[in-house]
Amino acid sequence: MNDKQRKRGRGVTRGLALHKQNERNGKKLEVEIDPMLGRSLTRRGSLAVSSELGQLAPDYVWPISKKGQRRRILDEVILRLEVKLNIVNVGDIVVRGHIWRQFMRIVKGRRSYYRKVYRRYNETAKEHKPRCLDQQIWYDLCDYWATPKVQALCDKNTENRNMVQHVNCQGLIPLVPLYYELLNKEGSGVNNKIDFFRKVRCTITGEWRNEYSAEAHNRMQQKVDETKDSDQPVTADEAFHEVLGSNSGCLIGVGYGPLPPPKRVDTRALNECAQVREQNHKLTEENERLHERCGHLEENMTQVTQQNEKLTEENTRLQERCANLEENVTQVTEQNQMLTQENTRLQDRCDHLEKNMNQINEKQAVFEHFMRQQLQKGGN
């Protein structure tokens, strides 16, 4: 298939969806990588880390061999990851090792894709640089692949990849978060690792992708059925581990993460990580309780504030009423004083009139006495 016949795909991701999501939320996406599993237990977090590492991979596709160079590149990768992601436990040595191994797997896959482009054009490969790749890096890779030693190594690796016995049917979805997501989802049909193995190794129609996976599944189920009625029955997870085994810190056929932990990880470090996770869990619970308590206190404070406002309004109304009453009392007092003065004047006037009346009565009595005397003298 030439370039004109090749179907155009979606292209290389630029991380715009995560950037827009961070702008909407006003903060970076928070991701916590489980030290035991090496990945985030949420699909969103796992995909975000893989996507960001995939964008950084083209800058580091050259084979990295020196130990000091690896440490420097890991620090650069983590700094560039933290531009869009908030990795909670990025300071953990075990977590940094998981990030490095995942990044190297992505770099290896990207370098494998670039080699396919190189093999397609061979001698004229330098004129067909892939997108999102620096021109000088592409020239260096072409010169690197042109050496006989590297060509022999690549051919050997191609033969080894063709010997893969288990084929994944879930596409680019990470198996670790998918396993825990289906395990906690009702109606998913995944209750153990055997069910998950069948889920990811069968097509939509329920057919096995190869006979080896079907045979391995039958052996797992047979071990469970044979010991079902015994005193020590074999669980589905135990049968899964016994049949598939482990290699380089991963379960064969399921990918990196579910169990067991990588062999290079120190057990003491894992125990310390477990203790730190337990402490973080306790602190998280304590933080939630404090947040809940603060919420109750804020609610009570709001109620007290409302009551204070009501009391203040009532006090204001009472003060206005008291002011009106004081004003009325003042008016009544003034009226009483005026009435008292008027009553005093009337009393004085009445006394004066009564005095005049007495004088008049005395004069009248004298006059009558005088008149009676005159009448008596006239009769005589």
In this prediction, residue 254 carries a pLDDT of 59
In this prediction, residue 280 carries a pLDDT of 75
Distance between CA atoms of residues 117 and 111, nearest Å: 10
Burial per residue of 93-128, b for 16 or more beta-carbon CB atoms within 10 angstroms, e otherwise = ebbbbbbbbbbbebbeebbeebbebbeeeeeebeee
Which tens digits make up the pLDDT trace of 31-46? 888 887 777 878 888 8
How many Cβ atoms are within 10 Å of 241's Cβ, its own excluded? 18
In this prediction, residue 9 carries a pLDDT of 55
Q: Note if the bond before 261 is cis, omega within 30 degrees.
A: no
Question: What pLDDT tens digit does each residue of the chain (380 aa) get?
Answer: 444 455 555 566 677 888 888 888 888 988 888 887 777 878 888 888 888 998 888 888 887 666 668 888 888 998 998 888 888 888 888 888 888 888 988 888 888 888 888 888 888 888 888 887 888 889 988 888 888 998 888 888 878 777 766 666 666 566 777 777 788 888 888 888 888 888 888 887 888 877 888 888 898 888 888 888 888 888 888 888 888 876 655 555 555 444 444 444 445 555 665 677 677 778 888 888 888 888 888 888 888 888 888 988 998 899 898 888 888 888 888 888 999 898 888 988 888 888 889 888 888 888 888 888 888 887 65
In this prediction, residue 62 carries a pLDDT of 80
Identify the CA nearest to 171 among candidates 215, 203, 211.
203
Residue type for 138, please?
A: W
How many Cβ atoms are within 10 Å of 37's Cβ, its own excluded? 19
| C-beta separation of 1 from 120 below 8 A | no
Which tens digits make up the pLDDT trace of 128-165? 888 878 888 899 888 888 889 988 888 888 787 777 66
Task: Categorise residue 151: left if φ over 0, alpha if ψ from -120 to 50, beta otherwise.
Answer: alpha
Q: What would the two tokens of residue 266 be? A: 């120190």
Distance between CA atoms of residues 56 and 74, nearest Å: 11
How many degrees, rounded to 5, is the angle at CA 127 between CA 126 and CA 129?
75
In this prediction, residue 291 carries a pLDDT of 86
In this prediction, residue 258 carries a pLDDT of 45
In this prediction, residue 268 carries a pLDDT of 55
